[in-house]
Structure 1
Amino acid sequence: MKLYNLKDHNEQVSFVQAIKQGLGKQQGLFFPLDLPVFELTDIEQLLEQDFVTRSRRLLSAFIADEVSEDALHQCVKAAFEFPAPVVQVAEDVACLELFHGPTLAFKDFGGRFMAQMLAQVAGDQPVTILTATSGDTGAAVAHAFYGLQSVRVVILYPQGKISPLQEKLFCTLGGNIHTMAIDGDFDACQALVKQAFDDRALKKALHLNSANSINISRLLAQICYYFEAVAQLPQDARNQLVISVPSGNFGDLTAGLLAKSLGLPVKRFIAATNANDTVPRFLSNGQWQPHPTVATLSNAMDVSQPNNWPRVEELFRRKVWQWSELGHAAVSDETTKDTLRELAERGYISEPHAATAYRALRDQLQQGEFGLFLGTAHPAKFKQSVEAILGQKLSLPKALALRADLPLLSHRLPARFSELRQFLLSLPA
């Protein structure tokens, strides 16, 4: 599989190189040179297969012979050890629950697959994973790489802008996991990561890699659960399927669009954001005008300059899709609260991110269509806010209960690259 740098199309790398490298020159994202397409009969056969077998075949279409079929199967099997069930919420709407992994968030899929693949291709070469998180990426990456030999992980997150339980999940591990609370928002954390990758001496000294959805291995892994969702739907629902995706850094939507590009029958997608509405405004008026990031209830989506958007633009260009085909919505905190109460009245307890996707879906779903929205995190990860909104107590799943009372091991830094650089170089080998 060849991939090219979206900022410099002359830079082309293999899949294995892309995993190791993370970003290309000028902080460019890698994108597949060839976009495979399955015939309708192949899609039907794929949807009859089990999750692991199907996922291995989907990923093979991109990776080809760079990794053996057996090795790829073992990586997928080890990464996707948990289900992704579709749960009915209304007669014409269901939720794809992606929070049944070890850190109770959708990013377990991509994080664990990347860890397995990196372990497969890196050999004994030491690697430093540097990544920024607005909430769930940190936990998924930390747990995926925890204890792996020759891998150090450094995770930056915005101080005071993720939920306390999100913080507990990945800031209490220690060992090869180092966590940094940055005085700034997620965009500031992301900017620091990009500066580190632009520092050639630092990148070479630490063998830097990223585990954000900018890493192509994470993105490809996320394609697989869209197929798993459709496999669970009856035929009439598949024929008129609309999928609503809670969107912050837009990796999840990119993966869904790549699934559609492969041939998955999806009528249209809806990009649901919170008040950080750069993309909905762009889709409405054609102007890319990021505003300063604001804090919301759906904090993992508090991103005003989404990293993956250039991949979405490239896919629309390559497939000659029209922007009018992509639904969009920006959902306020007040509407999010009302939506959580509406879902609870239906007997379904959710959380703010999924609520934005449900609201956009419910508002835009047309007669005869079937709607699917992504449940990206367990409600208990946002225990305080959900309990306050619904007026009822939530029990903690075991994964959270085990870490809730452990001390935080984070360091705190200002949003200055010089201090981050000094910290990275001081880490034990």
Structure 2
Amino acid sequence: MKLYNLKNHNEEVNFLQAVKMGLGDNQGLFFPTELPIIPKYALKELIEMDFLTRSVKIISMFIGNEIEIHDLTKYVHNAFAFSGPIIVPVTKNISCCELFHGPTLAFKDFGARFMAQIISHFNDKNDKFTILTATSGDTGAAVAHAFYKLKNVKVVILYPKGKISKLQEALFCTLGENITSIAIEGSFDECQTLVKQAFNDKQLKIKTGLNSANSINISRLLAQVCYYFEAYALIPDIKRKNLVISIPCGNFGNLTAGLLSKSMGLPIKSFIAATNVNDTVPRFLKTGIWNPYNSISTISNAMDISRPNNWPRVEELFRRKQWSLNELGFGNVSDCVTIETLLTLNHMGYVSEPHAAVAYKLLQEQLKENEFGLFLGTAHPAKFKHLVDSILNTNLKLPKALEEPSKLPILSYDMKPSFEKLKKFLIS
């Protein structure tokens, strides 16, 4: 697999190099030089496979023989050793694709665990890594648990202090060992800026073996492509013809993966990029002007991102496939409407959380009569227990994965959003 740097097309690397580097020169994202296409006759056979077998096939279409097939099979089986996507009907023509049945109860378990398996591929060479990543809620837990106690890997997770749920915080700030968490006194965008600054410091990269487990890493995206095929396979044949998928968007990695599945030949009619009031992309799609505002804290906190990292990949894919951005559905939802939607879903018998509610609301508004809609459930409602309980006047039971960490002390360091302080911390 060859990939090129979106900011410098002359910089080309293979898959393992891209995983190891994270970002290219000038903080450029890596993008495949060749986009695999599945012939229609082969698609039916692929859809009939089980999730794990199909996932190995899909990922191998991208990376070729760079990793031997028996090793790749082992990595995929280790990474996805939990319940895959589950389709839950909500209305006659809308279902939720629940992606939160992994060890940290969020869709990011798929990508983070696969990346950890690929990083373990380097262990035979005794390479040492420092995984530096920013989280707006769920990435931190998924990455921490995926890399926990992994040989030759240190993990440093930055998150905006006081702006993620207590249960989200408990999932990754109580582990210790090779996992370090830092509460940054600022927004997620400031955390993300610190990560980018670190990657721009060549001395720091070399000295610490710096890498990132954000969705900027290509391995995460390839893993996420797999569950779109599984979602398609799980819905009845009659509902596949006009399939619309609504995605709660933060850094836009999930949308990128969905679009990659479509580019391969998965017959998804369209996507909806659903955001909260941090609506840089919806405003851009409406006006053609890229004008990020300062991010605003909302109840759908994992989407509180005004400068989404993966948007250049979305634009590149549309350019390469000669698709029109006008075909992409979009919209934004306020906290008030999100709360109303949570109540509506509950009344219909489905307990959700804010991010999925944003995706449902826009899907419900934009879905046409002859279409079938899926909205992605990206996190377990119990991760937002205090909020969901107060809105729905209920008392959600905590799953074991949340109950045990909630009783442990938080081990985070506090830090102002200063790159010099972070650099000193990483080197020491």
User: Is TM (by shorter chain) over 0.5?
Assistant: yes
User: How much does 1:32 deviate?
Assistant: 0.2
What residue is the counterpart of 1:121 in the other structure? 122
Is 1:312 matched with 2:314?
A: yes
Residue identity in the other structure for 1:148: L
Alpha-carbon contact 1:20-1:122 (below 8 Å) kept: no
Residue identity in the other structure for 1:415: P
Alpha-carbon contact 1:16-1:121 (below 8 Å) kept: no
What residue is the counterpart of 2:45 in the other structure? 45
What residue is the counterpart of 2:407 in the other structure? 405
What residue is the counterpart of 1:91 in the other structure? 92
Alpha-carbon contact 2:104-2:141 (below 8 Å) kept: yes
Alpha-carbon contact 2:123-2:151 (below 8 Å) kept: no
- The alignment partner of 2:121 has SS state of helix
State, as a whole percentage, how many aligned pairs show the same letter: 62
Distance in 2, Cα, partners of 1:121 & 1:247: 32
Distance in 2, Cα, partners of 1:326 & 1:320: 13
78-87 or 120-129: which moved more? 120-129
What residue is the counterpart of 1:188 in the other structure? 190
User: How much does 1:353 deviate?
Assistant: 0.3
Distance in 2, Cα, partners of 1:313 & 1:44: 29
What residue is the counterpart of 1:365 in the other structure? 367
- The alignment partner of 1:180 has SS state of strand
Q: How does 1:83-162 map to 2 (within 5 A)?
A: 83-123=84-124, 124-162=126-164
User: How much does 1:81 deviate?
Assistant: 1.2
84-93 or 176-185: which moved more? 84-93
Alpha-carbon contact 2:252-2:310 (below 8 Å) kept: yes
Residue identity in the other structure for 1:54: R
- The partner residue of 1:200 within 199, 202, 206 is 202
Q: How does 1:13-412 map to 2 (within 5 A)?
A: 13-82=13-82, 83-123=84-124, 124-412=126-414
Alpha-carbon contact 1:161-1:295 (below 8 Å) kept: yes
Deviations 1:80-110 (A, max 9, x none): 1122111111110111101000000000000
Distance in 1, Cα, partners of 2:65 & 2:392: 51
Distance in 1, Cα, partners of 2:31 & 2:207: 26
Distance in 2, Cα, partners of 1:192 & 1:122: 27
Deviation >2 Å, runs of 4+: none
Q: 1:122 to 1:319 in 2, by over 3 A?
A: farther
Deviations 1:200-242 (A, max 9, x none): 1110000001000000000110000000000001111110100
User: How much does 1:337 deviate?
Assistant: 0.3
User: How much does 1:122 deviate?
Assistant: 4.4
Distance in 1, Cα, partners of 2:111 & 2:2: 20
Residue identity in the other structure for 1:70: H
Residue identity in the other structure for 1:98: L
Normalised by the size of structure 2, how large is the TM-score? 0.99
Distance in 2, Cα, partners of 1:357 & 1:344: 15
Alpha-carbon contact 2:133-2:156 (below 8 Å) kept: yes
- The alignment partner of 1:230 has SS state of helix
Coordinate RMSD, CA, aligned = 0.6
Distance in 1, Cα, partners of 2:294 & 2:127: 39
Distance in 2, Cα, partners of 1:151 & 1:363: 45
User: How much does 1:121 deviate?
Assistant: 3.1
Deviations 1:108-167 (A, max 9, x none): 000000000110134311110000000000000000000111100000000000000000
- The alignment partner of 1:423 has SS state of helix
Distance in 1, Cα, partners of 2:240 & 2:268: 7
Deviations 1:165-189 (A, max 9, x none): 0000000000000000001100000
265-274 or 113-122: which moved more? 113-122
Alpha-carbon contact 1:98-1:106 (below 8 Å) kept: yes
Distance in 2, Cα, partners of 1:157 & 1:168: 12
Distance in 1, Cα, partners of 2:267 & 2:287: 28
Residue identity in the other structure for 1:145: F
Distance in 2, Cα, partners of 1:119 & 1:42: 32
Aligned residues: 426
Distance in 1, Cα, partners of 2:116 & 2:51: 19
Deviations 1:344-395 (A, max 9, x none): 0111000000000000100000001000000000000001111111111101
- The alignment partner of 1:66 has SS state of coil
Distance in 2, Cα, partners of 1:122 & 1:261: 33
Residue identity in the other structure for 1:424: L
- The alignment partner of 2:235 has SS state of coil
Residue identity in the other structure for 2:133: T
Distance in 1, Cα, partners of 2:293 & 2:197: 21
Residue identity in the other structure for 1:43: L
Residue identity in the other structure for 2:15: F
Distance in 2, Cα, partners of 1:43 & 1:390: 42
Distance in 1, Cα, partners of 2:80 & 2:421: 37
Alpha-carbon contact 1:3-1:15 (below 8 Å) kept: yes
User: How much does 1:42 deviate?
Assistant: 1.2
User: How much does 1:27 deviate?
Assistant: 0.1
Residue identity in the other structure for 2:230: E
User: How much does 1:333 deviate?
Assistant: 0.3
